[in-house]
Amino acid sequence: MGLKMKKPRHLPLPNNKKDRLAEIMRVDHAGEYGAKRIYEGQLNITRGGALHKEIKDMYEQELTHLKYFETQLAQKRIRPTILQPLWHALGYALGAATALCGEKSAMACTVAVEDVIEEHYQSQIDELSNSNEDSELKEKIKQFRDEELEHRDRGIANKAQETFGYKTLYNIVQTATKTAILLSKKI
Ligand SMILES: [Fe+2]
Ligand SMILES: [Fe+2]
C-alpha cells in the first residue's frame, strides 16, 4: 500500500505545469488590469496638469501589457481572477486618491507599485528560465518588466520622492500591491 502511494520521481507534471502557467497568466492579467485602473484614476484627476501626458504614456503601455494577457487567457481558456471587480474599483480609487494629493504623489504611487511588479516579474522570469518553459511568455514578461522599470524611473525623475509622507505612502501602496498579487494568484 505504501508503495502504491509513492509517486515515481520522473513523473512528468504537465498538469501542474499547466496550472502554474495558468496561475502566472491569471495574476499578471490581474496586475495589468489593476495598473490600467490606477492610471485611469490618475488621468481623470490630473486632466490639464503638467504630468498628464507622462501618465498617459505609461497608461498606453499598460494597455499593451493587459492586451497580451487578455489574449492569452482567452486562447488558453484560463479564467481571470474572480477579484477583478475589486481591482476595478480599488485600482481606480488608488489612482484617483494619490493624484488628488498631487502629481508627485501620483508618481510615488507608480514608484511603489512598479518596485513590487519588477520583483514579481523577475521571479517569474527566473522560474520560466529554470524550467525552460514557454519562452514566448518569458520574453513578453521580460519586455514588460523593462517597461515597468521605465515607469518607476519616470516616477523618480518626476520627484516622487519629494512627496509629503513619501515613505508611508510608499509602504501602504507596496503592501496593497503585494496583497493583491497574493490573492489574484489563487482566487
Ligand atoms: Fe504593466
Ligand atoms: Fe507599469
Least confident window among 1-10, 22-31, 96-105:
1-10
Tally of domains within the chain: 1
Query: Does residue 92 belong to any structural domain of this protein?
Result: yes
pLDDT tens digit sequence for 61-88 = 999 999 999 999 999 999 999 999 999 9
* Mean pLDDT of all residues belonging to the chain: 89
Cα-to-centroid distance, 35 and ligand 1 (Å): 6
**The pLDDT of residue 187:** 86
Query: Does residue 3 belong to any structural domain of this protein?
Result: no
Query: Does residue 76 belong to any structural domain of this protein?
Result: yes
Band (185; pLDDT cuts 50, 70, 90)? confident
Please count the helices (runs of H) and the strands (runs of E) in the chain: 7, 0
Query: Does residue 5 belong to any structural domain of this protein?
Result: no
Query: Does residue 8 belong to any structural domain of this protein?
Result: no
CATH number at residue 102: 1.20.1260
Query: Cell numbers at residue 7, please?
Result: 509517486
Query: Does residue 9 belong to any structural domain of this protein?
Result: no
Cα-to-centroid distance, 65 and ligand 1 (Å): 5
Cα-to-centroid distance, 51 and ligand 2 (Å): 16
pLDDT tens digit sequence for 124-170 = 999 888 877 678 899 999 999 999 999 999 999 999 999 999 999 99
Amino acid type, 103 = E
Q: Is 151 annotated as ligand-binding?
A: yes
Query: Does residue 90 belong to any structural domain of this protein?
Result: yes
Q: Is 65 annotated as ligand-binding?
A: yes
**Which ligand has an atom closest to residue 68 CA?**
1
Query: What is the C-alpha to C-alpha distance for residues 126 and 57, in angstroms, rounded to an integer?
Result: 28
Task: Give residue 40's Cα distance to chain centre.
Answer: 15
State the burial class of residue 185 (Cβ atoms within 10 Å of its Cβ: 0-12, 13-18, 19+). Answer: middle
Residue 103 lies in domain: 18-186
Query: Does residue 109 belong to any structural domain of this protein?
Result: yes
Query: What is the C-alpha to C-alpha distance for residues 24 and 39, in angstroms, rounded to an integer?
Result: 23
What number of residues does the chain have?
187
